[in-house]
């Protein structure tokens, strides 16, 4: 759960890449997507989800733009012999980005508001039936009000640029289970007042442009989190997080991204409720590779992820054995006319989670995704 906040901030920091780009009025995207999975557990842990995402962005001019996104979902989750069905909108994100000059340098300010339109109990109701979040993030978001802000500077350097950004993510309290909890995990949560620790980050980027719209991108970032609270009490503080990646982009050929993440030891409460350094890291380092090749409108993307175990011993309540993910995703983008396009995609992922879950058992997962997105220029 805490790692999802980190990845969201990383996604926002990507807006630093390319301060000066083409100006267009905007775009609206609607889609329909299916995700299904099963596991090797003797008792079934599986499910499927159907999503209807919607997003829109619009630029008033080359300085000011607005964006928004939400989605509606249906979920069917089986944990042992218990199956639950959920349906709701997720939280909605609206925001603006402003381009201007500060310190005689191209600058940007991005502010996003997460609106509490979702079901705050969803993620905990399905957490055991879903694929481990070490490998695939929970798609649904229902965490109440949130705010993020990013300020960045661009330093032109020949055909490329350096970028630096500072960001902050604030999240309000949200209801973990309430009176509607139905899974064995969610029903064990008594407090309805969970607050994830706020996160601040520093990101540095370098973009180098080449002929034929090719470019390479280097990103490094560091995150620092405040304590997470349950019922007003500190329950955990995530250790400092470090990220680094290199990407090569060729819109007409081979592209790839390779990177890694690592966390320092976090803080956990002792017998007196004071936060002290944990004896081992909660999350082991992880590395990933995402290659893709473009055949015109057809693209083939692969993905590989290797998660190392953390420092705890097997059987410990905090043990995470890590594992691997291997996946492939073909997609086809069909241009309908000068103002619209349809993208069709499908994917398969094989996941081997080592010493996963209660009892520290090995488990494999098969995950399928297919869907389409319809894009319209505004």
What integer pLDDT is reported at residue 337 of this predicted model? 93
Q: 209-232 pLDDT, tens per residue?
A: 999 999 999 999 999 999 988 877
What integer pLDDT is reported at residue 177 of this predicted model? 54
Nearest Cα to 122, choosing from 159, 91, 101, 157? Answer: 91
**Dist. CA 74–CA 36, nearest whole Å:** 12
Instruction: Break the chain into its structural domains and give their ranges.
Output: 2-377
8-18: average pLDDT: 48
Nearest Cα to 15, choosing from 139, 101, 112? Answer: 112
Least confident of 137-151, 202-216, 239-253: 137-151
156-161: average pLDDT: 90
22-33: average pLDDT: 83
**Dist. CA 340–CA 260, nearest whole Å:** 36
Nearest Cα to 167, choosing from 184, 146, 136, 182? Answer: 146
**Dist. CA 222–CA 43, nearest whole Å:** 40
Q: Which segment, 93-102, 135-144, 316-325, is predicted with the most confidence on average? A: 93-102
What integer pLDDT is reported at residue 10 of this predicted model? 52
What integer pLDDT is reported at residue 38 of this predicted model? 93
Q: How confident is the model at residue 286 (pLDDT cuts 50, 70, 90)?
A: very high
Asked if 289 contacts 304 with a C-beta cutoff of 8 angstroms, the reply is yes
Q: 71-121 pLDDT, tens per residue?
A: 999 999 998 888 999 999 999 999 999 999 999 999 999 999 999 999 988
2-377 under CATH 2.40.160, yes or no = yes
Least confident of 38-42, 90-94, 259-263: 38-42
Q: Three-state DSSP class for 125?
A: helix
Cβ neighbours of residue 234 closer than 8 Å, sequence gap 6 or more: 227, 228, 269, 273, 275
Q: Which phi and psi (to 5°) does residue 156 adopt? A: -60, 140
Q: 346-368 pLDDT, tens per residue?
A: 999 999 988 755 456 788 999 99
What integer pLDDT is reported at residue 270 of this predicted model? 85
Nearest Cα to 90, choosing from 132, 51, 147? Answer: 51
């Amino acid at each position: 759960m805490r790692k999802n906040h980190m990845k969201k901030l990383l996604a926002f920091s990507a807006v630093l890449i390319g301060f000066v780009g083409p100006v267009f009025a905007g775009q609206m995207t609607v889609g329909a997507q299916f995700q299904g999975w099963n596991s090797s557990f003797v008792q079934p842990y599986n499910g499927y989800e159907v999503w209807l995402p919607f997003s829109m962005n619009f630029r008033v001019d080359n300085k000011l733009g607005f964006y928004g996104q939400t989605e509606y979902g249906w979920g069917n989750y089986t944990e042992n012999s218990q199956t639950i069905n959920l349906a709701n909108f997720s939280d909605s994100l609206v925001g603006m980005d402003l381009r201007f000059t500060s310190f005689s340098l191209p600058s940007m300010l991005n502010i996003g508001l997460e609106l509490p339109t979702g079901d705050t109990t969803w993620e905990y109701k399905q957490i055991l039936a879903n694929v481990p979040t070490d490998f695939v993030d929970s798609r649904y978001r229902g965490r109440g009000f949130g705010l993020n802000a990013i300020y960045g500077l661009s330093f032109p350097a020949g055909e490329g640029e350096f970028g630096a950004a500072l960001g902050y993510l604030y999240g309000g309290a949200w209801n973990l289970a309430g009176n509607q909890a139905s899974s064995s995990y969610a029903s064990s949560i008594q407090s309805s007042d969970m607050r994830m620790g706020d996160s601040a980050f520093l990101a540095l980027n370098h973009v180098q442009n080449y002929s034929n719209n090719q470019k390479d991108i280097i990103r490094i970032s560091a995150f620092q989190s405040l304590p997470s609270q349950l019922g007003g009490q500190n329950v955990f503080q995530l250790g400092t997080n470090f990220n680094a990646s290199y990407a090569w982009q060729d819109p007409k050929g081979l592209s790839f991204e390779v990177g890694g993440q690592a966390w320092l030891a976090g803080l956990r409460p002792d017998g007196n409720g004071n936060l002290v350094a944990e004896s081992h890291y909660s999350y082991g380092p992880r590395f990933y590779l995402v290659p893709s090749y473009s055949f015109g409108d057809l693209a083939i993307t692969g993905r590989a992820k290797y998660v190392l175990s953390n420092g705890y011993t097997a059987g410990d309540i905090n043990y995470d054995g890590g594992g691997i993910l291997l996946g492939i995703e073909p997609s086809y983008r069909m241009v309908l006319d000068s103002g619209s396009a349809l993208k069709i995609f499908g994917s398969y992922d094989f996941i081997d989670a080592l010493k996963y879950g209660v009892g520290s058992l090995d488990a494999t997962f098969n995950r399928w995704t297919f869907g389409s997105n319809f894009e319209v220029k505004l």
